[in-house]
Amino acid sequence: MVKLTAQETGPSLRDVAVLAMARLEAAPDLLGGWSDVEAQSLRQAASRVLDGQIDAARVMSAAAARLVSGIDLVPFLEPDGPFGPAWPAHPLASSAFNVGYRLREPDITRELAALMGPRAGRQGNERALSFLRILTDLAGAHEVGATLTDGVRPTIAAEHHVTRMQRPKTVAVSRFQRVSVPRIDLLFEWPVDRAGRQAVVVVEAKLGAYVGKGQLRPYREEARRRARGGPVALVLLTAWGDRAETRHRAWRPVRWFGLLRRWEAALASAGDLDPEFTRVRADLWRFVLSARKALS
C-alpha cells in the first residue's frame, strides 16, 4: 500500500479522523449508546476507508496529470479569462451570486438605469460611459462611440414610453382586451453639438424572451426623432440569437455574455465596489451561466 509522507499531505486523514473520534468520545451525550468496542470498531473501519482513498488519490493524480498535459485549462477569473478579472466586487466571487431571488426583464432595466443614472452620482456616470463604450464597440456603432468623451453625461430612461406619430387604423377593442404599449427598454441620449443634435442609443434588452413582431419599428422612429440628425445606435441585447436580427438589419446584435465579461474588467479598473450594483449584475450572470445557449 502506498504511503504519503507528512511533507506531501500534512496531517494524515486517518489521524484527523481518529482525533475527531476522540473529541466525540469526550462528549458522551453525542455518542448515544456507543460502547468502547463499537467506537474502536468504527475507528478501524474509518481508517481502512481513508487508507484506500489516499492510495486511490495518489495513483489517480499522476494519471490525471498525464491526461491534461499540454492542454490549456479554462481559467475561472483572470484578466483575459471568459468571465473577466478576479476582483472583490465580481458577482462570481461574491455572496450576491447565491441569493435566491430573480429579477424580471423590466426590473433589470430599471435597476440598471437607476445605477447608471444621476442618483448614483459620479459612479453612475462612469458606469454609463463604460457600458456605452463597450456596447457601441461590440455593436460596431463607431460613429456613436466616438462621441463618448469623458465629459459626456448621458441621460438614461428605462421602459421609455413611445408616442406613436400616427394613429393606427381604428380597430374595435374590447374593454377587457389588453393593449400593448411600446416601451424602449433602455434609452440613452446626450448632446453632440450646439445645433441641438443628439447621440441616441436604443437598447432592446432580452433575457429569455424573443423580440415581438412589429415591436422594433416604433423604437427606431423614436430614436431618429430624438436624435434630430445626430448619430443613432439600435442594439438588440440578447442572451442568444434572435430571428429579429435578420428581419431588422438596422439593429446590431450584442450578447449579454460578451457585454458582461468586458464590463467586469472596466468596473474592476474603476474600483466600483457598490454591493447593490454587484447584486444586480449577479442576477444577470446567474441567467447567462444557467442557459447553455447564452454561452455559445
- Cα 23 to its chain centre, rounded Å, is 44
- More confident position, 73 or 209: 209
* The pLDDT of residue 177: 39
* The pLDDT of residue 74: 47
Average pLDDT of the segment spanning 48-60: 72
Q: 182 CB contacts (<8 Å, ≥6 apart)?
A: 161, 162, 164, 215, 218, 219
Average pLDDT of the segment spanning 130-145: 97
Per-residue pLDDT band for 295 (boundaries 50, 70, 90) equals low
- More confident position, 109 or 215: 109
Which range among 97-106, 121-130, 198-207 shows the weakest confidence by mean pLDDT? 97-106
* The pLDDT of residue 60: 72
- More confident position, 143 or 87: 143
Per-residue pLDDT band for 187 (boundaries 50, 70, 90) equals very high
Alpha carbon distances (Å) from 161 to 219, 223, 225, 257: 10, 12, 14, 27
Q: 133 is written with which cell numbers?
A: 463604450
* The pLDDT of residue 34: 61
Residue 128 has pLDDT above 90, yes or no: yes
Condensed to tens digits (0 to 9), the pLDDT of residues 236-285 reads 998 887 777 778 788 999 999 999 999 999 999 999 999 999 999 999 99
* The pLDDT of residue 42: 73
* The pLDDT of residue 2: 40
> Which among 251, 282, 270, 247 is positioned nearest to 101, based on CA atoms?
282
Q: 275 CB contacts (<8 Å, ≥6 apart)?
A: 89, 96
Condensed to tens digits (0 to 9), the pLDDT of residues 212-225 reads 777 888 999 999 99
Residue 132 has pLDDT above 60, yes or no: yes
Per the document, the length of the chain is 296
Residue 17 has pLDDT above 70, yes or no: no
Kind of pairing, strands 198-205 and 232-238? Answer: parallel
